[in-house]
A and B are shown apart, each in its own frame.
Chain A
Amino acid sequence: MVLTHIQQKSNVPFDRLKTYISELLELGLIQDEALPKLTEKGLQYITEYEKVLDFMKLMGLTYR
């Protein structure tokens, strides 16, 4: 996905998006800064994140 597409979908200012992309690269969750793609680790993180969101929903907790 091209960075501008990510920016449109996330509605985040471009300079802040670049910071987030750098952080995600450092953490090994994505690869390739120009055309970011999820790594295996990133995929695992999203799976865990969705599990916890599901858990919070089942427990009646609201998270925005």
Chain B
Amino acid sequence: MVDRRYLTYFDWGLLALTFLLATIGLITLYSAVMAGVPTPQEALFTKQLIWYGIGLAAMMICLLFSYKLMERYAWVIYGGSILLLVWAMFFGRTIAGSRRWIVLGPVSLQPSELAKIAVIIILARYYAKYVSGRGFTLRSLQVPVIMTLVPFLLIVRQPDLGTAGLIGLIAASMTLFVKIEKRTLSFIVGSGIAMALPMWFFFLKEYQRQRVLTFINPDRDPLGAGYHIIQSKIAIGSGFLTGKGFLEGTQNALSFLPEQHTDFIFSVLAEEWGFMGAALLIFVFLVFIFWALNIAYSCRDPFGTILAVGITAMIAWQAVINMGMVMGLMPVVGVPLPFISYGGSSLLTTMICVGILLNISMRRFMIE
């Protein structure tokens, strides 16, 4: 049954890059959780290993059928993920003030993670159908805007501004990729500015303005985010050229780093492996993203191309935002580093994305 060409066209390179990132991630996570204060939290490492297993399985399942089925069932996937979000809104578990988890026996999932993929698929379907080279106009953008807005607002309500913002960024990237008509683009940018300025000067209250400014510049909050950022910068900077060595990171060990195994895991890596390690990780991410964009190019089917671009945008944005944040270049938002940060739902999503990329890659002969 299995077409032998699948094997011939199988993208071993992407798989190898995935395993490389997974290995870097697990090593760093091991260090981050073993230094856990007051006691090492090996359980977290084991959990992450299990999640990688589940992720690999999900990735393989993604290979079993052609990604073209996703185009046909895009609405089913999209509708299902919206239902899950609504379910989480009413019956989800609240952790740290945010109702974003669905509990299934021993595992809890964040439906907002799966919503990211659903939005990518539904937008890819729409854009593939109507892409024309002239660019999309305001009128033809109405549908994709609504498609993005529904899960976006549901996730804002949870509230999980990080993930919601990410969905917005992914949608914007995909839309820019399929081209927005020039006048439409300048209209959108212009009206955006025209609305933001009076909002800022007339509608926001002083304390709200302060909050936005603090968000953009965490240094304004020296006891909260600003403190986390300075500790993170010390951790990264103190890694110097070669790092302090595996399990030797002191900032990490002393719990001076916040969320050292989730959002701030990059600083653990940078502290222990130095510039060599951190630069290597950035480089591997870069190669991974180029590889994925190459898959988008080799796919001669608009849906496949746009889908691959959307998925790449997701991974690239998360990597850039996360690393930019811990290095003090960007506001502190809860965005995990793909492959590296601890967290089952995020890992599962990332692995499904790799599966879809592999799927598109190995079926490229079918269009040729």
- Report if A and B associate in a common complex: no
Residues of A within 8 A of B (CB): none
Residues of B within 8 A of A (CB): none
